Amino acid sequence: MAPRLIFAPQVPDDLVAAVDYYEQISPALANDFRQHVNDKLDDIAERSESFPVDVGSVRLARIDFPI
């Protein structure tokens, strides 16, 4: 079973804002961003120990997207 992912409170709003931003540029770009985020979430679930620890047991994962 994959570990449960817990997000900082601002993450959902930040992701919605990012998708909205990319959607204004191009629906295809917004879809690419969504896929990039989903791929990163899969990576986190599969290899959480490979992400750096920030505070306590909180691990950080950055979403790097080209724009």
Per-residue pLDDT, 23: 97
Tens of pLDDT along 23-62? Answer: 999 999 999 999 999 998 898 888 888 888 888 778 888 8
Residue 1's pLDDT is 64
Residue 2 pLDDT level (bands cut at 50, 70, 90): low
Residue in the structure block whose two tokens are 């900082």: 8
pLDDT of residue 34: 96
The average pLDDT across 4-24 equals: 91
Mean pLDDT of all residues in 9-26: 94
HSE (CB half, 13 Å, CA atoms) of 58? 7
Answer for the pair 37, 7: CB distance below 8 angstroms, yes or no: no
Q: How far apart are CA 14 and CA 19, in angstroms?
A: 9
